[in-house]
Structure 1
């Protein structure tokens, strides 16, 4: 029997840290995830590498910042030139599986906003591999397996190994209108399921919140249930086995649209949800990028069906809050199912279970929904729970950590060396605890309130958050000890000048510390 532990990594999508019982949420019920925290350690200061799906998921897999792995923003696939920690587990003999969402590649099939410019009149412009400064093979079929065209016609299987996973059962998209391997499973159980998907087929309701969709899909056929069922089946097939495994169980929820199915829809009452502080603060002046988002909603120009941040009313915030709690509770029930299957498999005492998310959602804080160029705690801070049968139980950690550290911690526990150039730290070693974490954010299009495509660097230490915006004459600085709601920007406050200067220097040092070090040198010059 192997003396290396197995691992299950549960990961959700757009799930901020404070939307779990074990992280202090006053209403939501998450007994199974809370029980995991009671068996292990919950990290209270855990942050993303980037507060958006593709860059942060790429950082999870590679243990590197977006500036290193190349997925600077949504819309750039993770190049397979990058080594993932899952590949290192596989190389050491681990059985590896992904069930659920990947989002290491694009899954819309929609053309990008940002494209290279055409040649100026009279100028020659190279084509093909010389068109961009770095050669890539993103046109290859290998990088399009998450797009709709891959799944049209006869249902194919994801070619494996897929970024280190030998077994993949994929879910693509958000809400109840999702695809991938889930479609085949769902249609086998209800051939008419397509007529129940999406907002156009939703059940009647009286919610006014943008993207509140009362799905007609029953809970047992919803993607959360599919992922739990397939994870349970995978574990059952390894009952009493010897080979250590790494299983990633990845849910697309609670990402918007807000559409918990069945009884999860009205499990929570919006009236029971607190009104965010920005709706009652009389002296809050939104920074320019937030003011732009709020102004677009007031002017009626906001894209209410999109992915970027939008303004909202207090009632819409409460509705989004309640519906998100419903989706989170459904995920918690699914975690319980998988935990029971792990126990039945006989592998529980040798398996580390982990829970996290890829980023958060404003959910009404600062009068915003969804996510965007705003770097508030609500989208940068996520849960991280580590439950090791051989480790500490029922503890809290205030150690700063972030997504790129997850792979490093797993590899250290499995006694596997990281690849040269990986930047993650072992979260269980106080000797490697940083004084601050670096967060990188970019977007390929201009956003409301910004005259440029956002390119932002954020430093978060134990007390302050500083954000620098490229090409703009302002930034953000918040003291979260005295201003936990981040309502008073100290960027231009004279009394905060020394702190700002210190944090700017720390930010520069953090960027230097995360500079690319791969490939390793091949000789002395």
Structure 2
């Protein structure tokens, strides 16, 4: 079966069971085990825990790639980065791409996005292709289709009151954009704040922050105690605008994506959420002190830290100290509890408006964060579980989808699952698979192996070129290979759930390694794009 077969053979949901609405919550850089529903005993997430208890929880949901921009593109398209082309941050998703949101829009749904988009570059950097069409490199570069690729440009949003998106924006008919991270976001939120609360806009950023001398992370810009009040912080604005859309819903079915930029670093939980959790009371991850020999690229990070050369103020991965890990955990928990509160407000409005009985509510994230795993911080091309495993909650009032499941699932499965539940046919090129049968208990799995891709922007971690790697997960094992490296990673997750012992060169696991390598080769071949050829000709 080709990747396209899944889209063409998907059985639409009977019209009598079709839900009127979809509400998708997504957070940014939020690992699965930082929710009470996933076993965390510290972070308070009562609203999301209740949603999970009344719905279905995916315990093995993984990213297509652990990077914001390409994984968000995978969520929209149901395709791997190698297929949709936005392989790393900075490469925009082609405006001509088919997205499940646009399919819903064409089927009669009102489609809205509130919060972070990140389908195009949200910094001031231009698209990464040469501007001169006479240049040989420009002729050979794969340039995107027609349209504006500066629609999420930070400087233009901050300097122009009339700046806006072209609609529909990747299928979204209307958007309240809140791009970037911490309290220093831009988009419609900043335009609104400047018009209605100019005194609060002056409180944004580390220079206006309340002093927090006890936190080491503030010394290199990975955290600050924001002076922006809770009720005007970006997360509250996103909840407010989502509620407004619910109140204006009328009788038209809707798809709303409510997208929070937190708990992504820099950490700036507002008000009481800043010190809701005490760093001194945080427990380090079990993998922080394993005593095992580190991987070559992890060892390189340790050397940078121990020699005082670690770069800690950028978005890139670095090796952290115990204190840094504990502070990050505490502030991350504060941001998550704030988000949970805002989601609770939206869910209360959904119920108050009588929409809860006709709305499928979904919760997920675009990728995780090490947050002290193996003495690492933030994210990078090392596919430990805390980075690549994300939450996935599906609450469906019309289907008997309850409990939890351990089927290997991917971000690329979200699009076909929503389309199947809506009874709307998919589009050619979808590589993900519907999870409906798994959630309903009619199937135990959707795949035997799961692949994760990654392509980096920068030369880091001691490599002599930009890192490209591929990971394959089975129910028991994780294998990762790196382009240009003779070594790799192999873990027996049943015996070693914290991924402390690399079995790549272990003779006892030689057959497992060979089988996983062959399965990875077949999975990569399977997921080579066959579009635009119809299924019958693929």
TM superposition score normalised by structure 1: 0.94
Query: Residues 393 and 452 (structure 1 numbering): CA distance in 2 closer, same or farther, change over 3 Å?
Result: same
Residues 440, 146 of structure 1: alpha-carbon distance in 2 compared, 3 angstrom cutoff: same
| Aligned counterpart for 1:322 among listed residues 315, 321, 330 | 330
2:74 corresponds to 1:59: yes
1:122 maps to none
Alpha-carbon separation, structure 2, partners of 1:364 and 1:357: 19
Give the equivalent residue in structure 2 for 1:44.
59
1:438 paired residue among 433, 437, 451: 451
Matches within 5 A, 1:99-498: 99-110=114-125, 126-127=134-135, 131-137=139-145, 140=147, 142-151=148-157, 152-205=159-212, 206-209=214-217, 210=220, 211-238=222-249, 241-282=250-291, 284-392=292-400, 394-430=402-438, 431=443, 433-498=446-511
Alpha-carbon distance in structure 1 between the residues aligned to 2:131 and 2:209:
42
Rounded to whole Å, the distance in 1 between the matches of 2:210 and 2:136 is: 49
Deviations 1:268-322 (A, max 9, x none): 111221112233322x111011112222222333221111111111121111001
Shift of 1:128: 8.0
Deviation digits for residues 325-359 of structure 1 (CA, Å, limit 9, x no counterpart): 00000000010011011112221101000000000
Deviation at 1:524, TM superposition (A): 7.9
Using the alignment, how far apart are the partners of 2:280 and 2:162 within structure 1? 44
Q: 1:78 aligns with which of 93, 96, 111?
A: 93
Task: State the SS of the aligned residue for 2:216.
Answer: coil
| C-alpha spacing 1:111/1:79, structure 2 compared with 1 (3 Å) | closer
Question: In the TM superposition, what whole-angstrom CA distance separates every residue of 1:13-58 from its partner, at most 9, and x where no partner exists?
Answer: 0000000000011100101001110111001000000001011000
1:155–1:278: structure 2 CA closer, same or farther, 3 Å change rule? same
Cα deviations across residues 222-278 of structure 1 (Å, max 9, x unaligned)?
10000000000110111xx32211000000000000110100001111122111223
Question: Does 287-296 or 35-44 show the bigger shift?
Answer: 287-296
CA distance in 1, matches of 2:137, 2:310: 38
**Shift of residue 421, structure 1, vs aligned partner:** 1.1
Q: 8 Å contact 2:361–2:394 — kept in the other structure?
A: yes
Secondary structure in 2 matching 1:8: strand
Distance 1:115 1:290, change over 3 A: farther
Cα separation, 2, equivalents of 1:189 and 1:222: 13
SS at match of 1:396: strand
SS of the residue 2:59 aligns to? strand
**RMSD, aligned CA:** 2.2
Asked whether 1:517 is paired with 2:524, we answer no
**Whole-angstrom distance in 2 between the partners of 1:394 and 1:31:** 18
Instruction: Report if aligned partners of 1:41, 1:392 keep a CA contact under 8 Å in 2.
Output: no
Structure 2 residue runs without a partner (length 5+):
1-14
CA distance in 1 between partners of 2:536 and 2:448 (Å): 34
Q: Distance in 2 between matches of 1:368 and 1:129?
A: 37
Deviation (angstroms), 1:429: 2.0
Paired with 1:301 and 1:201, the residues of 2 have a C-alpha distance of 29
* 2:22 and 2:255 in contact (8 A); partners too: yes
Secondary structure, counterpart of 1:192 in structure 2: helix
Matches of 2:120 and 2:468, distance apart in 1:
21
Where does residue 26 of structure 2 map in the other structure? 11
